[in-house]
Amino acid sequence: MKMRIRRADPAGNITIFVMDQAERKDYAAISRQLLVREDLGAEQVGFVEKNADGTTHMQMMGGEFCGNATRSFGYLMSMLSEEKPEEITVDVSGSAELLKAEVDLDKGTSRTQMPLPQDIVTLPPIQGEQYKMVVFEGVCHIIVEDAPKSQEFVNEVIAEAEKILDCDAYGVMFLEGEKMTPVVYVRETGSMVWESSCGSGSMGAAVYLSREKDNGTYVYELHQPGGMIEATVEKKGGKTVQCKMGGPVEISEEMTVEITW
């Protein structure tokens, strides 16, 4: 069948929004078909759903939370509305609360409020090293302060993380100063992607880097293969009280693709 989609580019983390309604049980099969298309070059898929009350919800392909998809969804909703609001509330998977996105259509940017971290846990030793995992609702990110390692290393780290905590998605963020290389595994679809950029991973890195800070606002510019993402952490009494993440966004015109399942 034919489905309408839009291609979003938030700092290279190409996200396909499926605009037509489908059953959630079919999301994984639809996503796999979209992810293998070289002409789309997508790293993830989000489904735009209509709630019973007429509002709109964005459901990621594995039910996970994604920061780049969230801010792109906010940009899309502002772009499609008559009012073109600069601040818009979004309803997305992996977040129990509605989130606010700040959109500048003229500059082509979007910044979103992010869920607060639930915890920072320490993984058991892996190849003689211990790593921290920043836990959010819907996604867990392991921070590795080193140059990118092998896929085998990534697999081992994620396998250890799965033993400790059940998450919809796991990221391994290789962090070298302000340079970050993200890898994300989504359990529902079985997809493992070395991403061009990762919004929630950027937030995880910022939370990790500010973990010993007490009071203040801390801004981190994280340069990734597809572009730069700015992540901001506000802390009071050593506790993270607000997280925001943003950067450039481009969204294509609507197009139609053929999907079978």
Is residue 134 domain-shared with residue 236, that is, in the same domain? yes
Taking only the tens place, the pLDDT of each residue in 118-160 is: 999 999 999 999 999 999 998 999 999 999 999 999 999 999 9
- Domain membership flag for residue 15: yes
Percent of the chain scored above 70 by pLDDT?
100
pTM comes to 0.87
State the pLDDT at residue 138.
87
Is residue 239 domain-shared with residue 253, that is, in the same domain? no
pLDDT category, 261, cuts 50, 70, 90?
confident
Is residue 92 domain-shared with residue 179, that is, in the same domain? no
Measure the CA–CA gap between 16 and 18, rounded to whole angstroms. Answer: 6
CATH number of the domain encompassing residue 9: 3.10.310.10
State the pLDDT at residue 252.
98
Is residue 29 domain-shared with residue 61, that is, in the same domain? yes
Q: Exposure string (b/e) for 18-38, b if CB count within 10 Å is 16 or more?
A: bbeebeeeebbebbeebbeee
Taking only the tens place, the pLDDT of each residue in 85-129 is: 999 999 999 999 999 999 999 999 999 999 999 999 999 999 999
The answer to whether residues 74 and 88 touch, using CB atoms and an 8 Å cutoff, is: yes
Taking only the tens place, the pLDDT of each residue in 15-37 is: 999 999 999 999 999 999 999 99
State the pLDDT at residue 73.
98
Is residue 86 domain-shared with residue 163, that is, in the same domain? no
Residue 71 has pLDDT above 90, yes or no: yes
Where are any strands of DSSP class E within 68-207? 87-90, 99-104, 109-113, 119-122, 132-136, 139-144, 169-176, 179-186, 191-194
Is residue 130 domain-shared with residue 75, that is, in the same domain? no
Containing structural domain, residue 214: 119-248
State the pLDDT at residue 118.
96
Is residue 96 domain-shared with residue 151, that is, in the same domain? no
Is residue 151 domain-shared with residue 39, that is, in the same domain? no
Is residue 94 domain-shared with residue 153, that is, in the same domain? no
Is residue 55 domain-shared with residue 172, that is, in the same domain? no
Is residue 148 domain-shared with residue 133, that is, in the same domain? yes
Measure the CA–CA gap between 103 and 71, rounded to whole angstroms. Answer: 8
Q: Coil, strand, or helix at residue 166?
A: coil
Is residue 128 domain-shared with residue 84, that is, in the same domain? no
Choose among 116, 111, 127, 109: nearest CA to 94. 116
State the pLDDT at residue 63.
94
Place of tokens 């291609």: 7
pLDDT category, 50, cuts 50, 70, 90?
very high
